[in-house]
């Protein structure tokens, strides 16, 4: 089997929440994609409940695109501790951290149920499994800790 970088990461050594560049890869035509680890909660100590994580996922799909260029996809980790963010180009960890912070701030303070995209039977594969309340509470908790630009040392980005 191919080695997957994320499975070589010592999950006991990281200090969430943080943004980490996992890899940059060049496609056959020379295009660069970047893969980021958006770790929102401490691995093996906590996990965001599925309904809240699902709602955060739907919101990040739009909110991150509003705050930075080149977003291809933002998908949750199966362990429910964060997301993979795939982008075109080479955005910096700081750029991604600012976009994530702004997005979580919007979820915590501004978003209403009417703002959540894709929450009906025709646009979501599990439309009953959402919780804006949970998404808001987890966003507030994550923001209260500050999102670090270093996965091993708590260095929250200054405003």
Whether 8 is in a domain gets the answer no
Cβ burial 72-111 (10 Å sphere, 16+ → b, else e): eebebbeebbbbebbbeeebebebbbbbbbebbebbbeeb
2 lies in a domain?
no
The residue range of the domain holding 104 is 13-145
Given this model, what pLDDT does residue 158 score?
Answer: 67
Strands 32-39 and 71-76: unpaired
| 108 falls within a domain | yes
Which CATH number belongs to the domain containing residue 88 in this structure?
3.30.1360.80
156, β-bridge pairs: 148
Indicate the pTM of the whole model. 0.94
The two most distant CA atoms of the chain are separated, in Å, by 44
Number of structural domains the chain divides into: 1
* Tens of pLDDT, residues 41-91: 999 999 999 999 999 999 999 999 999 999 999 999 999 999 999 999 999
Query: Looking at the domain assignment, is residue 6 inside a domain?
Result: no
The DSSP symbol for 126 reads T
Q: How far is CA 74 from CA 2, 13, 30, 134, in A?
A: 22, 24, 22, 19
pLDDT of residue 116 exceeding 90, the answer is yes
Q: What is the pLDDT of residues 12-51, one digit of tens each?
A: 999 999 999 999 999 999 999 999 999 999 999 999 999 9
Rounded-to-integer distance, Cα 59 and Cα 16, Å: 21
CA angle 141, 147, 153 (to 5 degrees): 120
4 part of a folded domain: no
Judge whether 113 and 123 are in contact, CB under 8 Å: no
Please check whether residue 157 lies inside any domain of the structure.
Answer: no
How far apart are the C-alpha atoms of 26 and 91, rounded to whole Å? 14
């Amino acid at each position: 089997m191919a080695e997957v970088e994320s499975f070589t990461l010592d999950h006991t050594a990281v200090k969430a929440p943080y943004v980490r560049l996992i890899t940059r890869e060049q496609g056959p035509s020379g295009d660069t994609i970047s893969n980021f680890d958006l770790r929102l909660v401490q691995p093996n100590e906590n996990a965001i409940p599925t309904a809240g994580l699902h709602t955060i996922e739907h919101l990040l799909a739009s909110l991150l695109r509003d705050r930075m260029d080149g977003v291809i996809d933002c998908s949750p980790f199966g362990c429910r501790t964060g997301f993979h963010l795939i982008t075109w180009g080479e955005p910096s960890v700081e750029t991604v951290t600012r976009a994530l912070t702004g997005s979580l701030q919007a979820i915590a303070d501004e978003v209403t149920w009417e703002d959540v995209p894709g929450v009906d039977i025709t646009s979501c594969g599990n439309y009953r499994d959402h919780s804006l309340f949970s998404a808001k509470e987890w966003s507030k908790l994550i923001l209260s800790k500050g999102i670090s630009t270093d996965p091993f040392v708590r260095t929250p980005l200054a405003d």
